[in-house]
Amino acid sequence: MDASRISIRPFKLSDADDFLKWASDDRVTRYLRWNTVTTKEEALTYIEKVAIPHPWRRTICLDDRSIGYISVKRESGDNKCRAYVSYAVGAAYWGQGIVSAALRAVMSSVFDEFPDLVRLEALVDIENRASQRVLGKVGFLKEGLLRKYGFCKGEVRDMFMYSFLSTDKIL
Ligand SMILES: CC(C)(COP(=O)(O)OP(=O)(O)OC[C@H]1O[C@@H](n2cnc3c(N)ncnc32)[C@H](O)[C@@H]1OP(=O)(O)O)[C@@H](O)C(=O)NCCC(=O)NCCS
């Protein structure tokens, strides 16, 4: 994949058709907190009511067309030192280094954007090996297993906690 074809930008309503292509795939949403989107109307509503108002959610684009997303959700108050990162990309694009590249870009800019932030964290289902590999290869530290920690698709799941600090090195 030619890196110059990949970009990260805010969502627009005109992304609805492209968004629907990847967000309607159960393989993509399997480990996400949100459910598979099934219609153009749902796609528009999601973009308008969730993606655009989100404090920091971007779409990952190939040639400026939406193929995935990456988001950073900061905690509030005394916990604003940390933020939670999540991401996905359409199954047709898996294994081409796209999310690793997007995540590295976020890791290199987000601490400048939010000066109070010192820690990015990610929670990953114990069966989600591709996501664990992404986090490991860009420099996140696997801190440990959180038993029965996250609710996902009707089940309470064991999750691994990963973190990356502002002083850590991006790999
Ligand atoms: C996880 C996900 C984001 C990875 O995106 P991607 O663009 O394919 O990631 P990359 O290509 O940058 O890297 C994937 C790595 O995982 C590896 N991998 C893929 N499937 C794997 C598996 N079943 N077991 C172990 N490693 C696996 C790839 O070989 C690659 O590692 P490599 O570069 O050493 O070969 C993508 O699969 C996805 O969108 N999944 C659904 C949503 C999701 O799970 N989001 C994360 C929630 S925590």
* pLDDT tens digit sequence for 13-52: 999 999 999 999 999 999 998 899 999 999 999 999 999 9
- The SS3 assignment for 5 reads helix
Considering the entire predicted model, what is its pTM? 0.96
Query: Taking the CA atoms of the chain, what radius of gyration do you get in angstroms?
Result: 15
Question: What is d(CA 163, CA 92) in angstroms, rounded to the nearest whole number?
Answer: 28
- For residue 124, the ligand 1 atom closest to its alpha carbon is 48
Question: What is d(CA 10, CA 69) in angstroms, rounded to the nearest whole number?
Answer: 9
77 alpha carbon – ligand 1 mean position (Å): 33
Residue type, 134: V
Provide the residue ranges of all domains of the chain, joining segments of one domain with +: 3-118
Question: What is d(CA 140, CA 120) in angstroms, rounded to the nearest whole number?
Answer: 9
* CATH superfamily of domain region 3-118: Gcn5-related N-acetyltransferase (GNAT) (3.40.630.30)
4 alpha carbon – ligand 1 mean position (Å): 20
The pLDDT score that the predictor gives to residue 3 is: 84
Question: What is d(CA 123, CA 61) in angstroms, rounded to the nearest whole number?
Answer: 24
- For residue 128, the ligand 1 atom closest to its alpha carbon is 44
